[in-house]
Amino acid sequence: MRDLYTQPEGAQQTPPHTFRGRLRQLGPSLIVSASIVGSGEIILTASLGAAVGFGMLWWVLLSCWSKSIVQAELARYVVVTGDTYILMLNRIPGKLPGPKGPVSWTLVVALLAFVPSLTGLGGLMGGAAQALVLIAPGVSPVLITAALALVIAVVLATGQYGNLERTLIPLVFIFTLTTLLCFWLLQSSTQAVSLDDTLAGLSFDFEVSFAVLALAVYGYTGVNSAEISAYSYWCIEKGYPGRIGQATHDEAYYSRARGWLQVVRLDVVLTLILLTFATVPFYYLGAGILHPLGTVPSGSETIRVLSQMFTETIGDGAFMLFATGAFCILFSSAVAGVAAGARYIPDYLMELGFLDRKRLDIRLKMIKGYGLVMPFVGLGLYAGFQNPVLMVTIAACFGAMMLPIQSGMTLYLSQKISKPLQAGPIAWRLLQLTFCFQLVMAMLVIYFVAL
């Protein structure tokens, strides 16, 4: 059955044939980058560097680069078939009893993992509030979080993709620029990162005593499980599946599909470039500055401690620069996270049998309603915890356990699309290796949490 959300009538379009033309069609990468470059980078990555020094730089790079193949191949399936992510989950064999009939076990697991992921939202909002407290000391972080919840609700009130893109692109630009500027200033100081420091970080050292933090970094840096699934929705709302159209299995269809898949691949590459340049500097800063001081961020002092990465070396003049960048990073992640969550809920209800997939009008109303309500749920969670590192770590650990499910179902379903549009042998092998590695990571998360 044609889903008008993913493949509207009359949306077919000839793909661009030049590099410049493809650049003009990008967009999902910028939204998902606004979500990616957030708590994992500014909180968890810097915290890992502060805890272990340079020795686990290789781990951070692995966390950044190893999941993009899943992002690309899952997006390939969604763009070609017109399935949504939740519908994709429900196509996996292995059914459990549901309220309106059997549903896939993967759908049930994803629904259960969705709940603890909300703690990550509260951590992002609270972290953004702590960044503003640096600028206006004496104001309650909970009060500022309440104000941010109101702003997020206003931004997402329309539920429109275009409004979200226009809101987040300036924030992505600001936080990327401030991160690179701060790192450049660090390199001009007496504590500049040397080549020897970098080589030490590639020595495959692993601090077992910080295993939970390291696993959380893997689960929440780069494209995590939530962002991989969210990316598929941004591809849908950018219009890629609609521009390909329903399969007709003639040469015109295959040519159109290949052209738009080239756009998606370029978009994924842009995501990888942005997240690498925004992640690695934070690890360097945590390892080079906080680790020698013996300072590890935690609790309500998280953002203030992180600010020492700049003030200890660059001087007090970097304080406002850090606060501005930290706020843009964390606030943009919170906005993108709420917006993504709004796309899952109507799909869950459809696959559970409570809502007809034809009701596009109800889907759009639910997206708006979620955007209005969930920022205040995040506020309530932060008011209860008031510990961004703990809140983000909880969400990250559950995210790490979802990664092998995503890569496994992508392996299974990617063979169901037309053979001319399937991944090549290199991408297929990389996806298999990623699945095996992520399965080991998920088991380690369960082991260390059980301890």
> What backbone torsions phi and psi does residue 140 show, to the nearest 5 degrees?
-65, 130
pLDDT for res 240 = 94
pLDDT in tens, 13-40: 999 989 999 988 888 887 777 666 655 5
- 10 Å CB burial of residue 360 (0-12, 13-18, 19+) is middle
Cα distance between the two ends of the chain: 47
**What is the per-residue pLDDT across 246-275, written as a single tens digit (0 to 9) for each?**
888 889 999 999 999 999 999 998 888 877
- Mean pLDDT, to the nearest integer, of 112-130? 81
Inside any domain, residue 9: no
Partners of 96 in the β-ladder: 103
pLDDT of residue 244: 93
Given a cut of 90, whether residue 55 has pLDDT beyond it is no
Residues recorded for the chain = 451
Instruction: Say if residues 330 and 134 touch (Cβ distance below 8 Å).
Output: no
**CA atoms of 42 and 330, how far apart (whole Å):** 8
Is 63 within 8 Å of 222 (Cβ atoms)? yes
Confidence of residue 86 (pLDDT cuts 50, 70, 90): very high
**Distance in angstroms (rounded) separating the CA atoms of residues 272 and 205:** 24
**Spatial distance between the Cα atoms of 110 and 226, rounded to a whole number of angstroms:** 10
Task: Indicate yes or no: pTM above 0.75.
Answer: yes
Instruction: Please state, in angstroms and rounded to a whole number, the distance separating the CA atoms of residues 182 and 185.
Output: 5
> Contact 214/56 with Cβ under 8 angstroms?
yes
Domain-located, residue 4: no
Question: Does any domain span residue 334?
Answer: yes
pLDDT band, very low/low/confident/very high, at 154 (cuts 50, 70, 90): confident
Higher pLDDT, 442 or 239: 239
* The pLDDT value given to residue 161: 64
Q: CA–CA separation, 367 vs 278, rounded Å?
A: 29
Of the candidates 393, 23, 6, 2, the one whose C-alpha atom is nearest the C-alpha of residue 210 is 393
Is residue 1 assigned to a domain? Answer: no
Count of domains observed in the chain: 1
**pLDDT at position 261, please?**
94
Residue 442 CA to its chain's centroid (Å): 18
What is the per-residue pLDDT across 293-328, written as a single tens digit (0 to 9) for each? 776 665 555 666 666 666 666 666 666 777 777 777
Are the C-beta atoms of residues 347 and 48 closer than 8 Å to each other?
no
Please state, rounded to an integer, the average pLDDT across all residues of the chain: 81
pLDDT at residue 204, as a whole number: 74
Residue 74 CB coordination number (10 Å)? 25
Q: Rounded CA gap, 68 and 65, in Å?
A: 6
Quote the pLDDT of residue 73. 93
Confidence of residue 165 (pLDDT cuts 50, 70, 90): low
Residue 301 pLDDT: 57
Domain CATH number, residue 133? 1.20.1740.10
Question: Which residues are CB-contacts of 271 (< 8 A; sequence separation ≥ 6)?
Answer: 29, 32, 33, 36, 68, 71, 223, 231
Q: Tokens 């953004």: give the residue.
A: 128
Domain assignment present for 2: no
Residue 103 has pLDDT above 70, yes or no: yes
Residue 161 CA: distances (Å) to CA of 65, 233, 268, 292:
27, 10, 18, 44
Assess whether pLDDT exceeds 80 at residue 213.
no
- Name the pLDDT band for 102 (thresholds 50, 70, 90): very high
Of the candidates 424, 157, 181, the residue with the CA atom closest to the CA atom of residue 314: 181
pLDDT of residue 420 exceeding 70:
yes
Q: Is the pLDDT of residue 130 over 90?
A: no
Alpha-carbon dihedral sign for residues 274, 339, 399, 407: negative
**Per-residue pLDDT reduced to its tens digit, 344-402:** 899 999 999 998 888 888 998 998 899 889 999 889 988 887 777 677 777 767 777 78
What is the extent of the structural domain holding 123?
Answer: 19-450
Q: What is the pLDDT of residue 162?
A: 67
Residue 139 domain-assigned? yes
| Residue 129 pLDDT exceeds 80 | yes
